[in-house]
Amino acid sequence: MASWKGTNVFVTGASGLLGTAMVEELLARGANVTCLVRDWVPASRLVAEGLIARCNVVRGELEDYDLVVRALNEHEIECVFHLGAQTIVGTASRSPLSTFEANIRGTWILLEACRELPKLVKRVLVASSDKAYGVHEKLPYTEDAPLQGRFPYDVSKSCTDLISLSYHATYQLPVAVTRCGNLYGAGDLNWNRLIPGTIRSLAAGERPIVRSDGQFVRDYFYVRDAVEAYLALAERLHEPKFHGQAFNFGTEEPQSVLEIVALLQQACARPDLAPIVQNQASHEIPKQYLDCSKARAWLEWRPKRTLADGLSETVRWYRDVLG
């Protein structure tokens, strides 16, 4: 796909961090975007910045098969970005049923709807996660590592991933899977996540809260780089060799929680506000980071922004929003 101009695209999870950034970039590239939106969130960038007014909007849930088929059919969708999910680890632990419904059932409903419309839908990208790999002694994860989630959120992503690849293997659906590190950037309103929560605390002159012992290690991935990774993959999905493939996307620069907090203290000019380390986190994997050599080899892709640049841009957005 040399150009997205005039392409009919369907985005699930459009009001989330990644979904909004994806919608914004697709609109900038001239795509006709249809969003599936469950909850109306006035504070989200999708609504607050007027992006939703430039899209077709379908209100409803991923688990509604008839609604999804209707949306794909009536809006003549060619390319699907399945980004919708319940993404909060703590919420998943408290409410596994709703998480499994959204993340697992929602995935097979969407894929089955795409299978029913082969003359329309030509590209399907499904957001899995590095959490799908579960706990491994050998790191970084490569794409051939077993998917062995144990906790509710991780299991939901392992299932999302496997179901997606099954639809290619069984029905030749033109689907590919992305496994990204921890996304951050402008528009994340889940304040219990590390980066937005820390920025809000520092902006209020309060010590940030660290739920874990501060030593958990993750690959922190800027959302604008993630969008560009998704689009790079989507633009190659006309090639059969990309069908049924999974790709890791991240920075390959793992950081501990306390290292991220220190960088945010520096970016916010608040080194005096030391974090409060609660050491109460549960149902989380201690260390996770990705090998992205497949994305470099197959897509000639690599992130454009450093961690410092991404955090700086993110802090500027929150400063404007938080006043």
Residues sharing a CB contact under 8 Å with residue 255, sequence separation 6 or more, in sequence order: 217, 218, 219, 220, 263, 307
Q: What residues are paired with 217 via a beta bridge?
A: 256, 287
Say whether pTM exceeds 0.85: yes
Find, among 255, 223, 242, the residue nearest to 297 by Cα. 242
Known catalytic residue at 153: yes
pLDDT averaged per 10 residues, the chain (length 323): 87 96 97 95 94 97 97 98 92 93 97 98 98 96 97 96 98 98 95 96 96 95 98 97 98 97 96 95 90 98 95 96 86
pLDDT value of position 283 = 84
Residues sharing a CB contact under 8 Å with residue 6, sequence separation 6 or more, in sequence order: 30, 31, 32
pLDDT value of position 284 = 86
pLDDT value of position 2 = 53
pLDDT value of position 88 = 86
pLDDT value of position 1 = 46
pLDDT value of position 246 = 98
Query: DSSP letter string over 167-205?
Result: HHHHH---EEEEEE-EEE-TT---TTSHHHHHHHHHHTT
Domains of the chain, first to last: 8-181+222-250+290-303 (3.40.50.720)
Tokens for 79?
């390319």
pLDDT value of position 282 = 81
Q: What residues are paired with 104 via a beta bridge?
A: none
pLDDT value of position 179 = 98
Question: CA 99 to CA 89: how far, in whole Å?
Answer: 10
Q: Which listed residue (153, 184, 220, 222) is catalytic?
A: 153
- Pairing of the two strands 276-277 and 79-82: unpaired
